[in-house]
Amino acid sequence: MSSPLRYVLDGIHCEPHFFTVPLDHQQPDDEETLTLFGRTLCRQDRLHDELPWLLFLQGGPGFGAPRPTADSGWLKRALQEFRVLLLDQRGTGHSAPISADVLAQLTALQQTDYLSHFRADSIVRDAEYVRAILSPARPWSLLGQSFGGFCCLTYLSLFPDSLHEVYLTGGVAPIGRSADEIYRATYQRVADKNRAFFARFPHAQAIANRLANHLHRHEVRLPNGQRLTVEQLQQQGLDLGASGAFEELYYLLEGAFIGERLNPAFLYQVQAMQPFNTNPVFAILHESIYAEGVASNWAAERVRAEYPALAWAPGRDFAFTGEMIFPWMFEQFRELIPLKEAAHLLAKKVDWGPLYDPAQLARNTVPVACAVYAEDMYVEFDYSRETLKGLGNSRAWITNEYEHNGLRVDGEQILDRLIRLNRDR
């Protein structure tokens, strides 16, 4: 298992690894495989100790595992007693990354079939495959942030005997709720964030209105050549549910104009804040994380009609949207345009397999500790509480001290609290 790519960072032994897994775990004899990338971390002074494993499952879907830069945050607490695996989920990072170029040789139907193997159930089966290599003799523990928490509940459904402990942060999935119900709740949270943002920075409304009208009347191009539209400007509210996001968004608006023209620096900032070209899985598979045996059918687009304050037209006040995916994105974002037909096919796909086993979760015996954020913009608090009622052997710490990105902001303290919550039983 030793890799020539290993190195030491801030007293942490870091070792990259590559694993070959089937594209379709249900047909392991099929010749098509994927290469996954993971990075194992261990304190250098504990390298030869018999430490248990902790797998970190990243939020998303569609984003690679974090790249460590220091012995800090949740990683610092974890490395006190675990070896840690940072695994790029399939389709992200260095794990068979999805892009329009990668899929260019496939028809839309072939793209749809291929992409259907990149949901949480496949991610979990990848992880279990890797566990059998790294920790074949003992269960390991999980730490799941946001969508990574959803994956943890899938893991508990499929392979409970492979798990020792589970920690969830902002990731108690809304099991049993339809995509329509989920977006209906999260749109309300987005509306709340809009009111709070414009109440805090009252003159930001006039700037945002001016920007929207400018984009409506003029053809504005981002540095990559993509036209910037009002709809894309609304999506700059994607991070409104993270701590510090209000300030960042205000400063973006504050510097939007130089006199009567748009500031080039503003355009570069907007482009950098758009994850859809660089992380296409985030867009193309986002609604499918809520689909089990039904089609999502562009739920966010349909439900948005119930929230007219989040729509824009000339003469109306501007408002931001949140973590919602819309069909027009596959006509505007350069890296999504080639995937437009596949995106529509995925939105109409009805034969999605199950992601959770409620009966298994109800009789769960693996200790589960959860940080549930009461004002979470992305994972509805009330639905998380519903799921917790049906999750055996779970404990929850409910707090409004943190936003959804609490693990990133104060990870050492949050993980320590969850570890103590799990152990103090």
Q: Which of 17, 214, 286, 404 is catalytic?
A: 404
Q: What is the CA radius of gyration of the chain?
A: 22
Quote the distance between the C-alpha of residue 340 and its chain's center: 21
146 is catalytic: yes
Burial class (CB in 10 A: 0-12, 13-18, 19+), 60: buried
State the DSSP H helix or E strand holding residue 396, giving kind and residue range, or none if neither: strand 394-399
Asked if residue 307 lies in contact with residue 187, where contact means CB atoms within 8 angstroms, the answer is: yes
Q: Which of 95, 146, 157, 296 is catalytic?
A: 146
Q: What is the DSSP string of 124-173?
A: HHHHHHHHHHH-TTS-EEEEEETHHHHHHHHHHHH-GGGEEEEEEES---
- For residue 372, which amino acid is it? V
Distance spanning both ends of the chain, measured CA to CA: 36
Phi, psi (rounded to 5 degrees) for 54: -125, 120
Structure tokens, 178 = 């339809």
Phi, psi (rounded to 5 degrees) for 289: -70, -10
For residue 61, is the peptide bond before it cis, meaning its omega torsion is within 30 degrees of 0? yes
- For residue 261, which amino acid is it? R
404 is catalytic: yes
For residue 66, is the peptide bond before it cis, meaning its omega torsion is within 30 degrees of 0? no
Asked if residue 55 lies in contact with residue 141, where contact means CB atoms within 8 angstroms, the answer is: yes
CA distance 289 to 96: 20
Asked if residue 103 lies in contact with residue 339, where contact means CB atoms within 8 angstroms, the answer is: yes
- For residue 416, which amino acid is it? D
Contact partners, residue 210, CB within 8 Å, separation at least 6: 257
For residue 166, give Cα distances in angstroms to 119, 155, 364.
20, 10, 11
Q: Which of 29, 45, 161, 351 is catalytic?
A: 351
Closest CA to 119 of 358, 387, 357, 355: 355
Provide the pairing of β-strand 83-87 with 163-169.
unpaired
CA distance 160 to 194: 40
Asked if residue 131 lies in contact with residue 100, where contact means CB atoms within 8 angstroms, the answer is: no
Structure tokens, 385 = 């509480």
Catalytic residues: 146, 351, 404
